[in-house]
Structure 1
Amino acid sequence: MTSEGFATTAYATMQLNAEDGGNRNYLIILLLEPTDENSEAYKEGYKTISDIGKERIRRAGVPVEEQATKAYNATDTQQRQQLKKPDKLDIGFKVFESDSTNLIKWNSNRNNLHLQLTMSGVGPRETPDHKGISRFCLLR
């Protein structure tokens, strides 16, 4: 997903859930791409594109909540039973950061393919048993 579309995806998901009482989720994956040091975003404290995205998603939840409150208050009692109460809307999100990988970068040179297949792709924390499993999975 490009950096232009992630907040729109989050907003649309929150909006649909507010409109029909759904329970949709979204998953957005971003690299920690740095912002230009001369940009306004950087000067405002957004050091990565991901930082900008998190703020956009936070801001996207505000109008969803406001619209849901207006819609809820404008309906009669019977229709309100079908709508989610605005204070029950899920407009939050969680951020998970990945850890470093234990895999060794793959060299696609065919001349050393056999050597690559016999090398372990695991980090120093794993036991010899894990290395065997890694080789088994790689060869399957």
Structure 2
Amino acid sequence: FFTEEKPVVTVRIVNYSVNIMGEVLRPGKYESMSGRMTILDGLAMAGDMTIYGRRDNVKVLRDDGNGELIIYTLNLTDKNMFYSPAFFLEQNDVVYVEPNKSKANSSKYGAAESFRISTLSVLISLITMTTTIFGLLR
């Protein structure tokens, strides 16, 4: 007697990767050898968040499979994050840790502004020195 059994195929992604960016110690692409990775696992692989990272506003960007981008916002200080669909990361997720206000404000001043401030300081020093020298010569 032969019974007609339907074959069952189980597909499991053994090695999958996520990208972790922003205010973490080592931003980059991280692979998981196990079948699962949580947001906490991913952040741990990236060396954890820096002191400038906002723990209440971590973004997980995910492709829904139809070409649409879904953006989840996780508050790592809230116990409800464990129930978020983004708590378990999926293949090709992007985790972005947003900088806090002090880091964001300090980034407003780039190399050009620093050069201008340095140049202005040197000019003021030269004018002061010249005025002092000519004052002593009189």
The structure carrying a bigger strand percent of its residues is 2
TM-score normalised by L of structure 1: 0.22
Q: Greater relative contact order (Cα 8 A, min sep 6): structure 1 or 2?
A: 2
The structure carrying a bigger helix percent of its residues is 1
TM-score normalised by L of structure 2: 0.22
